[in-house]
Amino acid sequence: MIVFDLTCAAGHRFEGWFGSGEDFASQSARGLLSCPSCGAAEIERVPSATRFNSGAAENVPAVPAAQAPQGKDPMAIAQILYARLVDQMLSSSEDVGKAFPDEARRIHYEEAPARAIRGEATPEQHAELVDEGIPVLRIPMPSRDRFS
């Protein structure tokens, strides 16, 4: 999957997910793309620094372009954006598994190198970390094979 930043004639910016650059060109040529804000069909790619982390590309849920953010269903868009956020968090953090509560504490008290970590914590462990003022975030993981 590849993410392109797109813009319509009215200047609305949005993202489209495609299987490849050719996929985008093909859909664009056939007039299948439209702006989610105003529905305009004149869509152009805009240069951007944001690119999907290609290292996780094969794990990205297969989202048909027809359901990509240029669609009109807010829930579908939210799910895509959420999956993307999770992927970014996963690709930029170290998995410490069940050692998460201990490691989060060690980092907080500067006993371990500061870095982004992720792992597992029970609701009780999570509450203790919050009570100690340690910045932790609970996120529900989309069900995907690599998390099982």
Of 7 and 125, the one with the shorter C-beta distance to Zn ion is 7
Whether residue 119 contacts residue 96, with contact meaning beta carbons closer than 8 Å, is answered with yes
Contact 28, 68 (CB under 8 A): no
Q: Which residue, chain included where needed, has tokens 């007039």?
A: 31
41 binds Zn ion (CB under 5 A): no
In the complex, the smallest distance separating the C-beta of residue 70 from Zn ion, rounded to whole angstroms, is 10
Percent helix / strand / coil, the chain, rounded to 5: 40, 15, 45
Binds Zn ion (CB under 5 A): choice among 1, 6, 8, 60: 8
Which one of 38, 78, 139, 141 is in contact with Zn ion (CB under 5 A)?
Answer: 38
Please tell me whether residue 2 binds Zn ion under the rule CB under 5 A.
no
Q: Where are the alpha helices (DSSP H) in the chain?
A: 21-29, 74-91, 100-108, 123-131
Among the candidate windows 34-42, 58-66, 102-110, 140-148, which touches Zn ion by CB under 5 A?
34-42
Q: Which of 119, 117, 124 is nearest to 147 (CA)?
A: 119
> Of residues 2, 40, 56, 83, which one binds Zn ion by CB under 5 A?
40
Smallest gap, in angstroms, from Cβ of residue 5 to Zn ion?
Answer: 13
Q: Does 91 bind Zn ion (CB under 5 A)?
A: no
- Beta carbons of 86 and 139 less than 8 angstroms apart: yes
Return residues touching Zn ion (CB under 5 A).
8, 10, 12, 35, 37-38, 40
